[in-house]
């Protein structure tokens, strides 16, 4: 199945969206960098991390999907609803979280998470420019795909056993939306697809490790 819009329509939508919202996008990037820093340091707050993620997904659900994406995608309302459900999950996690470190001690999730975050914050527009999708006709944080990849990167840093309910929508989006985007010619979303697959692999290995530990 192919997307209902052309590559040109999507790139023009990105241009309209980026031109209209570049100032709040800068603020979102600063908040995201702050959340990454808070997740990395042992003095950071899990509550702050989750609340920033909630804000990002509210932005995606309301601003990107309902104000812009609906113009070329008839199912934008569905994507908006899923984004707002995920924002609610993060709000719940944030309100329940104590002021405790967010960072996991495991090396593989830390490394993959860092790679996903760098891709989401920096490599998306760079790779887009290389293949001809020059800003403002490119994806930056605040658009669904970079936001999803950043989210997966941060969530991989969560301590403790993986909670599938927190990962469910970002993983599904990474696997589904990336395939549609790639078919539409947005090849920078290969990173999102690999991010989703990598996240699933890490979660499965973590679950298996936990099961082995519980039986041992």
Mean residue pLDDT across the chain: 91
R_g of the chain, CA atoms, integer Å: 17
* Beta partners for residue 143, in sequence order: 141
pLDDT per position as a tens digit, 16-46? 999 999 999 999 999 999 999 988 887 778 8
Q: Is residue 1 part of a domain?
A: no
Total of domains in the chain: 1
* Amino acid 102: pLDDT: 79
* Amino acid 216: pLDDT: 34
The domain containing residue 93 runs over which residues? 7-208
* Amino acid 214: pLDDT: 44
Of 8-12, 102-106, 130-134, the poorest mean pLDDT is in 102-106
Q: Is residue 60 part of a domain?
A: yes
98-117 core/surface letters (b: 16 or more CB in 10 A; e: else):
eeebbbbebeebbebbebbb
Q: Output the six-digit token pair for 12.
A: 């023009």
The count of residues in the chain is 216
Q: Is residue 2 part of a domain?
A: no
- Alpha-carbon distances of 1 from 173, 175, 177, 179, 183, rounded to whole Å: 16, 14, 12, 10, 9
Q: Is residue 181 part of a domain?
A: yes
The total of other beta-carbon atoms located within 10 Å of residue 17's CB is: 22
Q: Where do the H-state alpha helices sit in 97-155?
A: 107-118, 124-130, 144-155
Q: What is the mean pLDDT of residues 92-100?
A: 80
pLDDT-based confidence at residue 213 (cuts at 50, 70, 90): low
Please report, rounded to a whole number, the percentage of residues in the chain having pLDDT higher than 90.
73
Q: Is residue 215 part of a domain?
A: no
Phi, psi dihedrals of residue 128, rounded to the nearest 5° = -60, -45
Q: Is residue 213 part of a domain?
A: no
Q: Is residue 69 part of a domain?
A: yes
* Amino acid 19: pLDDT: 98
């Amino acid at each position: 199945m192919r997307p209902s819009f052309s590559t040109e329509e999507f790139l023009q939508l990105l241009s309209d969206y980026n031109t209209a919202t570049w100032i709040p996008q800068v603020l979102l990037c600063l908040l995201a960098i702050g959340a990454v820093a808070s997740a990395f340091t042992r003095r950071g707050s899990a509550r702050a991390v989750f609340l920033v993620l909630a804000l990002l997904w509210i932005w995606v659900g309301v601003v990107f999907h309902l104000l812009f994406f609906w113009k070329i995608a008839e199912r934008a309302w569905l994507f908006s609803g899923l984004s707002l459900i995920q924002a609610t999950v993060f709000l719940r996690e944030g309100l329940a979280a104590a002021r405790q470190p967010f960072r996991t001690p495991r090396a593989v999730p830390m490394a993959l998470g860092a790679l996903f975050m760098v891709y989401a914050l920096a490599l998306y527009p760079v790779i887009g420019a290389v293949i001809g999708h020059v800003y403002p006709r490119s994806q930056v944080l605040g658009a669904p795909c970079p936001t999803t990849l950043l989210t997966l990167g941060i969530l991989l840093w969560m301590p403790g056993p993986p909670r599938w309910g927190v990962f469910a929508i970002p993983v599904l989006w990474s696997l589904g939306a990336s395939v549609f985007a790639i078919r539409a010619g947005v090849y920078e979303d290969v990173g999102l697809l690999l991010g989703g697959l990598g996240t699933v692999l890490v979660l499965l290995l973590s679950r298996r490790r936990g099961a082995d530990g519980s039986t041992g």
